Amino acid sequence: MTRRFKQVDVFTAKPFLGNPVAVVLDGASLSAADMQAIARWANLSETAFVLPAEKGGDYRVRFFTPASELPFAGHPSIGAAHAVLEAGALPGDRAEYVQECGAGPLRIRVEKSGPERHLFVDAPPAAFRPLEDRELEQLNSALDTDAGPAVRPLVVTVGPTWAVLDLGDAATVAALQPRMSELAGVSRAMKITGVTVFGRDRGADVPLRVRSFAPAEGVPEDPVCGSGNVCVAAFLRETGLLAGIGNFYSASQGRELGRDGRVHMRVDVKTGAIELGGAAVTCIDGTLTT
């Protein structure tokens, strides 16, 4: 069977500088095993499968890494919305849509239009637990760093689960060279998706520099990670550090991999709700034979 297929670069308006996601637009007849096989073959951090809505939303999406299914994924949510709108599967004159996924119905909001269009997705509510001393020692070893975190790290769950470490400054973040096999083992033992670290990039055009590592999921380093950035925003809100950054800020991710992603985060100061947003551009537009 021939299915519509797009590969969308997310968190950039220029091709090849963001995080690619494979989007299969006609996924209704695929089994979970089929989807996992396609995601393994696509070999990107995630592949999104668009399905008919079941609970009153505009469409439904399932997200797969090369190793497993996720209830929510950030850049694939934006990439799937971009692909659905570009394909004309939904009317393009609305400011809001509803995406159904494993984390429930999530609002997709549109800002601007054309090449300047940005898409924002509501993030699922975050859950937290503190990182134990033993876990922090293991992560520092796997990350090959002796940089003490500025604030006690947290394990944050928004569907995917990330250990979030504030390393203080962008230079420390950029210099990391993790031991990936060790990090994969620690991630499995902790039952987390991976580790997201961030630091302040003082004097740069964006205040934060972020990196996300998920070798246990078959993704040594995610070029520009949506859910990881959501967890950073939730960490900043939970620890009281958001005031020093601002409730609407941008983060840079991917330069260590030759990318230049820009992630936009908005935190509602009254409700604490988090929005993840960015630009997207299609790099491959064609069909997939299954």
Q: How many whole angstroms separate alpha carbon 81 and alpha carbon 43?
A: 21
Contact (Cβ atoms closer than 8 angstroms) between residue 7 and residue 30: no
Which residue out of 46, 100, 221, 275 is catalytically annotated? 46
> Residue 7 pairs with which residues in a beta bridge?
22, 284
Q: Is 132 annotated in the active site? A: no
Cα(192)–Cα(184) distance, rounded to whole angstroms?
10
User: Can you tell me the distance from the alpha carbon of 76 to that of 222, in angstroms, rounded to the nearest whole number?
Assistant: 12
Nearest to 265 by CA among 2, 11, 3, 6: 11
Helix locations, the chain, DSSP H = 32-42, 74-86, 133-143, 170-175, 180-190, 226-239
**What type of residue sits at position 242?**
L
Residue reference for tokens 């919305």: 81
Q: CB-based contacts of 76: which residues, under 8 Å, 6+ apart? A: 10, 21, 23, 46, 47, 48, 61, 63, 226
DSSP 85-149: HHTTSS-TT-SEEEEEETTEEEEEEEES-GGG-EEEEEPPPPEEEEPPHHHHHHHHHHHT--PPP
Question: From CA 263, how far away is CA 42, in angstroms rounded?
Answer: 23
Residues designated as active site: 46
